[in-house]
Each structure stands twice: as C-alpha cells, then as structure tokens.
Amino acid sequence: MSSAPDFGAVKTSAELLSIARAMEERSAERYRELADSFEVACNPDTAEAFHDLAAGEDRHAADFPATVGPRPETVPWGEEDPEIADPDAVHYLMHPWHAADLALRHEQETLALFTTLAEKSPFAEVRAEAAKLVERETRHVAEMLAKRDALPTPPRDWYVDEDGPNWEAGD
C-alpha cells in the first residue's frame, strides 16, 4: 500500500458488505485464471487445487446478498485487494500445497484488514460489521490452514525443472 489507509472511506455496513462480496468474487476469478494457467503448464494437480479455491471463494461470495449496497469509490486499502493472489508468488511447478499456502496468506491478510477496520473505523456501524467479518475470516483462515496442512508437503527442490523448456522444438 502506497499511502496510509483511510478507514473513514467506508461509511456504512452496506458498503463494507459490498466490498467484501466483491473481494470474494475477484478472488474466485483470479483463482480460475491461475487454474487455467496451470492447465496450460501441464500441472493438473495444482490446476485442480486452484479450481477448488475458486469454488470456495464462490461459496464465500454467495454468503452475501447479491445487492448488499453500493461499493464506495475508494476503499481504505486502495487497489491492493488482499484477497487477490499475487502473480509474482506463483511458479509453474508449484504443488497444491503451495496453492493452499498462497490462499492462506491472502485469507490472513484479509483478516488483518477487517480487524484493523473493526478497530479504526470512525463509524460504529462499520466497526460492528467489520467485527462480524473478522469472525468469518477467522474461520476461513482456520479452514485454509487445515486444508494446506492436510496436503503433502512439497520436496525441497520442487522448483527444479529437470526437463527445462525446449526452445529448439520444431527445428
């Protein structure tokens, strides 16, 4: 985040719920994009992990009414949405464990954001709704931690591509 968050930017619980739903929807979209990329990279297990993550985010978004309220023009954290997977944190050889770990980190960032909003919003209505979102995100963090920890841990050299790219193909 380039500048200090403006926790007064969200003025109503409806705005906050609209933001939360949009975050879940964008996250699902990003996980689907990653799943497609991993299918192209011939990494079907990790593609499936990202498809599962997208489905989970779709379920999270469905927890909110479709029309919870207008999204404010600005949000406290700017355009750096904590629910969206960072493309720089992705490697074509990553394992499903890595996908779950990435999702866990994003759930933790979202939890931290809602916790801070619950503490610092100048609006009681927003603080109360953010506190409910903290409870929700706490469950999401616990679920993702359990999911990650149930997956096989990748070997230390998981990123080594013994068969590297074949740039000479077709010659």
How many CB atoms sit inside 10 A of residue 134's CB? Answer: 19
Under the banding of pLDDT at 50, 70 and 90, the label for residue 145 is very high
pLDDT for residue 1 = 41
pTM over 0.75: yes
Res. 22 pLDDT band, cuts 50 70 90: confident
Closest CA to 99 of 41, 23, 168, 162: 41
81's tokens? 């949405």
List of domains in the chain: 13-74+92-150 (1.20.1260.10)
Q: 106 with 30: CB under 8 angstroms?
A: no
